[in-house]
């Protein structure tokens, strides 16, 4: 089972994902994709808040290299929570991601995977080329993961919308 949880900044998406994996069993591996810059106190505080919410019995793996995510998904037994695809994309210096290895690893999993990602398409058009590139890459990545997911949730203001599957209609 693959669940994709989408939402904007401070929407509550990570909390929703954490609740889902908690209901799936006690053995959870949390894959953290954010590299914390010690000079960025705000980001460090956000990461610390995420860490404080996690039960002590969950395992945590730090995805320090962008290429590690697919490998981690292949190696982890039991429930896995990946938080988040946006920070995973940001790990790539040129924002170019290899999507197929990630999708292949998700397809090979026999245990549940809950993937958190930022929905960037509901905001203003990014004023910089880099911001537009990030939104484009993450938007396409979200579409590809949603296509293989069993369930896709959108979290807005702490409320959860269960998105129906695509029937191919335009």
Span 53-71, pLDDT tens digits = 888 899 999 987 778 999 9
Q: Which of 43, 50, 91, 125 is catalytic?
A: 50
- pLDDT of res. 49: 82
Max distance between CA atoms of the chain, in angstroms, equals: 47
**125 in catalytic set:** no
Superfamily of domain 2-163 in CATH is P-loop containing nucleotide triphosphate hydrolases (3.40.50.300)
Q: Which segments of 65-165 are extended strands (E)?
A: 79-83, 113-118, 151-156, 159-163
- pLDDT of res. 123: 77
Name the 3-class secondary structure at 77.
Answer: coil
Tokens of 111: 């245990």
**Rounded Cα–Cα distance for residues 32 and 17 (Å):** 13
What is the phi/psi pair of residue 2, to 5°? -120, 125
- pLDDT of res. 64: 77
Name residues of the chain where pLDDT drops below 50.
Answer: 170
- pLDDT of res. 170: 43
Tokens of 72: 């981690």
- pLDDT of res. 37: 79
- pLDDT of res. 112: 98
- pLDDT of res. 168: 55
Helix (H) and strand (E) counts for the chain? Answer: 6, 7
Contact 5, 20 (CB under 8 A): yes
């Amino acid at each position: 089972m693959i669940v994709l949880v989408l939402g904007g900044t401070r929407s509550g998406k990570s909390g929703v994902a954490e609740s889902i994996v908690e209901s799936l069993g006690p053995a959870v591996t949390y894959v953290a994709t954010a590299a914390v810059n010690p000079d960025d106190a705000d980001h460090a505080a956000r990461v610390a808040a995420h860490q404080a919410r996690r039960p002590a019995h969950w395992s945590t793996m730090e995805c320090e290299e962008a290429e590690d995510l697919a490998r981690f998904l292949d190696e982890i037994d039991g429930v896995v929570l990946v938080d988040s695809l946006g920070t995973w994309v940001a790990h790539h210096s040129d924002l170019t991601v290899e999507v197929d290895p990630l999708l292949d690893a998700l397809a090979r999993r026999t245990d549940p995977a809950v993937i958190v990602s930022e929905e960037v398409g509901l905001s203003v058009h990014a004023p910089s080329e880099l911001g537009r590139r990030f939104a484009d890459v993450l938007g396409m990545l979200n579409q590809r993961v949603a296509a293989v997911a069993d369930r896709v949730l959108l979290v807005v203001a702490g409320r959860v919308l269960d998105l129906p599957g695509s029937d191919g209609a335009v």
